[in-house]
Chain A
């Protein structure tokens, strides 16, 4: 019985493998390197709806423009990202759309793609070098954090104790956002940060750390988080403690927007993820057709504050009419 099952599983996997082989053969023979119609999209884990939205927007736009797509996730691991870029090179992709896994750790892999004459279009996160990627289209994290910080200070009445949850320390955006928040918050002498912890962008970690922080500092009136998944984790802790604490996030994810509408989390900063992903695909398409970039490398797109006033008009990382 077991043996028969094993044989069946084996046969199925052989079939699956040969099917994979077959399809990649077809795409290889069907397109010469110069006229490749493959766009490789690499992002962090789609666990976070933000990256999922980004992936889906890029994928849809590329398909609309007549490209094949290969969508991969590097899970914030530069090694895995490097291997995925190698895959793109060996598949002779027309372009790579990349939300990278580290400002410094990604440079070499992107250079390798460039050497293989494959242009890379960075979205959401920058790298610490210019002239390697064709474009770096990011939301203006500093401007966005300024908006978030200002709203947070207003909600706090410019005074009281607060805690900050920061993102993964290796991610540039974690630092930029934290600096942006403090650029505003540190101007108010009565606003006092009593705890600052990294929750590594993770919801469960944010929950547990917030619970512990609330134990240490029962008088906390606000929590400002570096992204929305952490804000959701922090808010779950606040709810469990039955406290009235201002929570502000960053990203504009649908879950947080619906929480804002229910008077849960107070505000978030929307990054136009879908718009940025579509822009990158459009520019990749232009580059493939004209052989040169039609935009400057560094492009920064402004963020939008989401609070109860405009939360209704937000869908899938875009504010209607903006």
Chain B
């Protein structure tokens, strides 16, 4: 075991043209590393399935997928940003702000001269997502027009959006979002509580968002430009890509996804409070990184991010299910994320080693 390991490492370090066995091993290792998120997920499922008989029941799998949906939607949005070489730290706060805006509209309506207007639940959802997109646009404009580093701009927005969420209700909670038939604003619970064909609506929404994101990133000119901007921004500019437009667009997408996630969470809870989704941006970024998205930009996939979200969600729910304490839950989650990045680095080294040899 140790022997092959050493040999494999040495062949990778000093490429020899005539070492077919070492190369085959390296290829196999690379395949394993590329699919590592899936491997980890399978290991998790097998492990928790063995420890708890409840883990693999249909209802628990559906429930865990529902928990995953919120983080996956956040993470898909963040992936767009990371692919361009940026970062969005404000998604948790945007989710909170969208939640409060929607909660306020449902609970107390919109004060206009001469009375209060109530919107239907569907309109409230659209408004909530629009608020997220708008905040994302502000992020994008600050980053492109004022040349603020994405980390700083979105860190600022993390505080601004959270503060606005708190200001919206003066820190309070909107306790009841059921709406009344007289106001015509019932039905907000549909997206977070109800199921269609036995699958929660939130999961359907995640599937739709994921499919749309996969199509956009892999099948459209816009998607190719996102990778071009993240891969080499100067080259992208020279190739005539309007880089600033692409960048603003990805922050708008990220903001809209964040708002959607916030609305799903709020709908499920039936209440909106300003601390909704605090620190969720870290879970979202973790999911993207776990899924193989490079923080330097230009490399990553939506499906990888979704898998990353599944790993994080299935892991934390599994730990709760078997009754592990909250403290250990944090430790394990952190360790898995760091481990993921280490394997990512290993994959890069192996890949470039193989590429050199075939060249």
Q: Please give the residue numbers on chain A whose beta carbons come within 8 Å of chain B beta carbons, in ascending order.
A: 2, 45-49, 52, 73, 169, 195-198, 200, 202-204, 207-209, 211-213, 215-218, 229, 232-233, 236, 240, 254-255, 258
A77 shortest CB reach to chain B, Å: 12
B248 shortest CB reach to chain A, Å: 13
A203 and B268 contact, Cβ closer than 8 Å, known pairs A49-B173, A255-B175? no
Which B299-340 residues have C-beta < 8 A from chain A?
Answer: 317, 320-323, 325-327
Q: Which 9 interchain pairs have the tightest Cβ spacing? A: A46-B171, A215-B60, A255-B175, A198-B326, A212-B320, A216-B321, A216-B54, A212-B317, A47-B275
- A209–B269 touching, CB < 8 Å: no
B77 contacts chain A at the CB level, 8 A cutoff: no
Which B136-195 residues have C-beta < 8 A from chain A?
Answer: 141, 145, 166, 170-173, 175-176, 193
B352 contacts chain A at the CB level, 8 A cutoff: no
- A215–B63 touching, CB < 8 Å: yes
- B321–A212 touching, CB < 8 Å: yes
- A52–B269 touching, CB < 8 Å: no
B172: chain A residues within 8 A (beta carbon): 46-47, 49, 52
Complex Cα distance, B320 from A208, in Å, reads 10
B325: chain A residues within 8 A (beta carbon): 198
B13 shortest CB reach to chain A, Å: 45
Interface-central residue, B141, B145, B323, by most chain A CB under 10 Å: B323
- B326–A207 touching, CB < 8 Å: no
B60 shortest CB reach to chain A, Å: 4
- A47–B268 touching, CB < 8 Å: no
Sample (6) of A-B pairs whose CB atoms are under 8 Å apart: A2-B141, A46-B170, A204-B269, A209-B320, A213-B321, A232-B175
B67 contacts chain A at the CB level, 8 A cutoff: yes
B270 contacts chain A at the CB level, 8 A cutoff: yes
A24 shortest CB reach to chain B, Å: 21
Complex Cα distance, B67 from A47, in Å, reads 23
Complex Cα distance, B323 from A212, in Å, reads 10
Complex Cα distance, B270 from A208, in Å, reads 13
A46: chain B residues within 8 A (beta carbon): 170-172
In addition to A49-B173, A197-B326, A233-B269, 16 A-B residue pairs with Cβ atoms within 8 Å of each other are A48-B173, A52-B171, A204-B265, A204-B276, A207-B268, A212-B321, A213-B320, A215-B59, A216-B60, A216-B322, A218-B54, A229-B273, A232-B175, A236-B268, A236-B270, A254-B175
- A240–B268 touching, CB < 8 Å: yes
A203 and B323 contact, Cβ closer than 8 Å, known pairs A46-B172, A208-B67, A255-B175? no
B276: chain A residues within 8 A (beta carbon): 204
- B326–A203 touching, CB < 8 Å: no
B32 shortest CB reach to chain A, Å: 30
Nearest A residue to B270, CB-CB = A236
A161 shortest CB reach to chain B, Å: 13
Complex Cα distance, B271 from A48, in Å, reads 12
Complex Cα distance, B322 from A215, in Å, reads 11
B74 shortest CB reach to chain A, Å: 13
A2: chain B residues within 8 A (beta carbon): 141, 145
Main secondary structure of the interface of B (DSSP, over half): loop
Complex Cα distance, B319 from A197, in Å, reads 11
Nearest A residue to B52, CB-CB = A216
Q: Please give the residue numbers on chain B whose beta carbons come within 8 Å of chain A beta carbons, in ascending order.
A: 52, 54, 57, 59-60, 63-64, 67, 141, 145, 166, 170-173, 175-176, 193, 265, 268-271, 273-277, 317, 320-323, 325-327
Complex Cα distance, B322 from A208, in Å, reads 15
Contacting residue for B326 out of A200, A215, A240, CB 8 A: A200
A45 and B54 contact, Cβ closer than 8 Å, known pairs A52-B171, A204-B265, A212-B321? no
A83 shortest CB reach to chain B, Å: 15
A258: chain B residues within 8 A (beta carbon): 175
A54 shortest CB reach to chain B, Å: 12
A207 and B171 contact, Cβ closer than 8 Å, known pairs A213-B320, A215-B59? no
Complex Cα distance, B52 from A218, in Å, reads 13
Complex Cα distance, B57 from A236, in Å, reads 22
A162 shortest CB reach to chain B, Å: 14
A211 and B271 contact, Cβ closer than 8 Å, known pairs A46-B171, A198-B326, A204-B276? no
- A215–B54 touching, CB < 8 Å: yes
A213 shortest CB reach to chain B, Å: 7
- A195–B269 touching, CB < 8 Å: no
Nearest A residue to B324, CB-CB = A197
- B323–A196 touching, CB < 8 Å: yes
A238 shortest CB reach to chain B, Å: 12
Complex Cα distance, B202 from A240, in Å, reads 14
- A211–B63 touching, CB < 8 Å: yes
- A45–B271 touching, CB < 8 Å: no
B171: chain A residues within 8 A (beta carbon): 45-47, 52, 73
- B326–A169 touching, CB < 8 Å: yes
B52: chain A residues within 8 A (beta carbon): 216
Nearest A residue to B192, CB-CB = A240
A12 shortest CB reach to chain B, Å: 15
A207 and B145 contact, Cβ closer than 8 Å, known pairs A47-B171, A212-B317? no
Contacting residue for A215 out of B269, B321, B327, CB 8 A: B321
Nearest B residue to A168, CB-CB = B326
A240 and B193 contact, Cβ closer than 8 Å, known pairs A200-B326, A216-B321? yes
Nearest A residue to B57, CB-CB = A215
- A232–B317 touching, CB < 8 Å: no
Nearest B residue to A195, CB-CB = B323
B245 shortest CB reach to chain A, Å: 15
B57: chain A residues within 8 A (beta carbon): 215
- A207–B269 touching, CB < 8 Å: yes
Nearest A residue to B189, CB-CB = A240
A208: chain B residues within 8 A (beta carbon): 67, 317
A213: chain B residues within 8 A (beta carbon): 320-321
- B175–A45 touching, CB < 8 Å: no
Complex Cα distance, B59 from A207, in Å, reads 16
A197 and B320 contact, Cβ closer than 8 Å, known pairs A73-B171, A255-B173? yes
B320: chain A residues within 8 A (beta carbon): 197, 209, 212-213
